Amino acid sequence: MQTDHVLRVPLREEATFKKTTIKTITRTNIISGWRNDYINLRIIFSIIKIARECYKDPVDVLSGLKYLIILRKKFVGDFKLRKTVQVDGKYYRYLYGPGWRSNTFKKFMISQLNDFKPVKQDTYRFNNVIMAITKKCSLQCDHCFEWDSLNKKENLSTAKLIEIVQKLQGQGVSEIQFSGGEPMLKVERIIEILNSANKKETTFWIDTSGFKFTEDNARRLKEAGLTGVFVSLDHFDPELHNKFRGFKDAFSWAETAVRNALEQDFVVSLSICITREFATRENLIGYMEMAREMGVAFVQFLEPKAVGHFAGKDVLLHPEHLEIVEEIYTELNFSSKYLSYPIITYHGYYQRRHGCFSGGYKGFYIDTDGDINPCPFCQKKSGNLLDGDLEANLRSLKNAGCIDYTRFS
Ligand code: SF4
């Protein structure tokens, strides 16, 4: 389905945002046109090969492939993605899936097929787990979901965190994201965890404000086996981002972090919390212009939730805001006019239509005490990952479900 018909105003004319002076030397290679079609075809052939390895019966192969097509449509709608990003020899079309041309990609696809009909091969139980590794942070972000535990006494040692990662990898997790607090305040800890982890089985990412993401730290994280970096950046206007984050240098840290991450060939995604005030076409387009200039691969759209620092506040987006955000998501991702722009991931888009994928079903959140929660924005503890019966804890997590959405259907 084409989206061009909904385009109203040429992007450049519409983007009257306050320009920042982003200078990136290294940029993500965003592939479009016949090269994108060619890569996509090769990915499809490799998925067919994987399905044939999983099932002997050709009917199962065909039904499994049909299941994957329906699953994809649930995430992105009935659209054709016209771009692919190439990073470090791998090809990515979705932010929350491993890059094609890797063992993790193959195992990830086998795991999706296993949900259709059980396979004999080794599978992942979870697609994504976000794991807070510290309570420490120098910022005071308006939307911080860990606000109540920020800068309190740490309860988890590096040894305990390594134990958590080992336990997660024992269950089979495709991707682990380190969050906090600000994880870069504990960069030695991250490197120790990475050094002890099996990077062939799981890809590791970091969620950072950009603080301390120096050239040297970026290089060391790359050597330790990190795959990708989410850099939180909530406005194209440096002053307004700094105000939202409660620190005068926050924008400059984020900008530097993006540059250093790109130079080390990380998959780089900006992450933005879209507030009601920000949810206009002009702002969102201005933001995407900035993201393109920075050279990142992805942009993640997040919606504000009334938790943490926002607890008790009236922050949820209204239908008129959601309409604009969804319009920008579909236009910039799927229209042939915006091929050089980063790919947008927008969880709210599929969550509203098909339910939540997290909550112990395909992912969950481990907070700064090692407690299991449905996701970072939905904090309802279901036991501790290191104590007690993990299966019972995961069962109670699934039963409690997601606060905002039903289970992914
Ligand atoms: S959102 Fe992240 S960077 Fe901001 S105060 Fe909370 S932990 Fe720190």
Give the residue from 116, 147, 175 where a domain finishes.
116
In a domain, 405, yes or no: no
Distance from Cα 101 to the centre of ligand 1, integer Å: 34
Name the pLDDT band for 386 (thresholds 50, 70, 90): very high
Domain CATH code at residue 182: 3.20.20.70
Tally of CB atoms within 10 A around 56 = 8
Long-range contacts of 246-249 (CB under 8 A, 24+ apart): 246/139, 246/140, 246/141, 246/142, 247/138, 247/139, 247/140
Mean of the pLDDT values across residues 84-90? 97
In a domain, 233, yes or no: yes
In a domain, 409, yes or no: no
- φ and ψ of 346, to 5 deg: -135, 95
Output the average pLDDT for the chain.
91
Name the pLDDT band for 76 (thresholds 50, 70, 90): confident
Q: What is the pLDDT of residue 322?
A: 97
Residue given tokens 């920020």 in the structure block: 150
In a domain, 73, yes or no: yes
The answer on 43 and 20 residing in a single domain is: no
Please, are residues 206 and 176 in contact by the beta-carbon 8 Å criterion?
Answer: no
The answer on 214 and 75 residing in a single domain is: no
Please, are residues 364 and 355 in contact by the beta-carbon 8 Å criterion?
Answer: no
Distance from Cα 406 to the centre of ligand 1, integer Å: 27
Name the pLDDT band for 380 (thresholds 50, 70, 90): confident
Judged by phi (left if over 0) then psi (alpha if -120 to 50, else beta), residue 243 lies in alpha
The answer on 333 and 192 residing in a single domain is: yes
The answer on 58 and 12 residing in a single domain is: no
The answer on 306 and 183 residing in a single domain is: yes
Residue given tokens 């079309």 in the structure block: 93
For CA atoms 311, 313, 314, 315, the dihedral sign is negative
Look at ligand 1, atom 7, and give the residue with the nearest C-alpha: 181
Look at ligand 1, atom 2, and give the residue with the nearest C-alpha: 181
Has residue 11 got a pLDDT over 70? no
The answer on 243 and 354 residing in a single domain is: yes
The binding-site residues of ligand 1, defined as CB within 6 angstroms of any ligand atom, are 137, 139-141, 144, 146, 180-182, 209
Q: What is the pLDDT of residue 182?
A: 97
Distance from Cα 303 to the centre of ligand 1, integer Å: 15
In a domain, 195, yes or no: yes
Probe residue for ligand 1, chosen from 135, 142, 146 as the CB with the greatest number of ligand atoms within 8 Å: 146
The answer on 159 and 68 residing in a single domain is: no
For 336, the 3-state DSSP assignment is helix
In a domain, 355, yes or no: yes
Q: What is the span of the domain harbouring residue 184?
A: 4-27+125-400
Probe residue for ligand 1, chosen from 177, 179, 207, 209 as the CB with the greatest number of ligand atoms within 8 Å: 209
The answer on 202 and 303 residing in a single domain is: yes
The answer on 307 and 384 residing in a single domain is: yes
Chain segment 16-65, per-residue pLDDT in tens: 445 555 566 789 999 999 999 999 999 999 999 999 999 999 999 999 99
Q: What is the pLDDT of residue 223?
A: 98
Name the pLDDT band for 10 (thresholds 50, 70, 90): very low
Which has the minimum average pLDDT: 28-37, 256-265, 348-357?
Answer: 348-357
Probe residue for ligand 1, chosen from 148, 245, 275 as the CB with the greatest number of ligand atoms within 8 Å: 245
Higher pLDDT, residue 279 or 73: 279
Name the pLDDT band for 120 (thresholds 50, 70, 90): very high
Look at ligand 1, atom 6, and give the residue with the nearest C-alpha: 144
Chain segment 303-330, per-residue pLDDT in tens: 999 999 999 999 999 999 999 999 999 9
The answer on 314 and 228 residing in a single domain is: yes
In a domain, 382, yes or no: yes
Which residues partner with 407 through β-bridges? Answer: 356
The DSSP annotation for 50-106 comes to HHHHH-SSHHHHHHHHHHHHHHHHHHH-S-----EEEETTEEESSTTSPPBSSHHHH
Give the residue from 68, 92, 116 where a domain finishes.
116
Distance from Cα 212 to the centre of ligand 1, integer Å: 14
The answer on 133 and 259 residing in a single domain is: yes
Q: What is the pLDDT of residue 408?
A: 61
Which has the minimum average pLDDT: 67-76, 136-145, 218-227?
Answer: 67-76
The answer on 137 and 196 residing in a single domain is: yes
- Residues 97, 103: Cα–Cα separation, whole Å: 12
Distance from Cα 205 to the centre of ligand 1, integer Å: 16
Higher pLDDT, residue 367 or 357: 367
The CA angle 147-149-155, to the nearest 5 degrees, is 155
Q: Please report, rounded to a whole number, the percentage of residues in the chain having pLDDT higher than 90.
A: 81
In a domain, 407, yes or no: no
Report the number of distinct structural domains present in the chain. 2
Give the residue from 84, 116, 148 where a domain finishes.
116
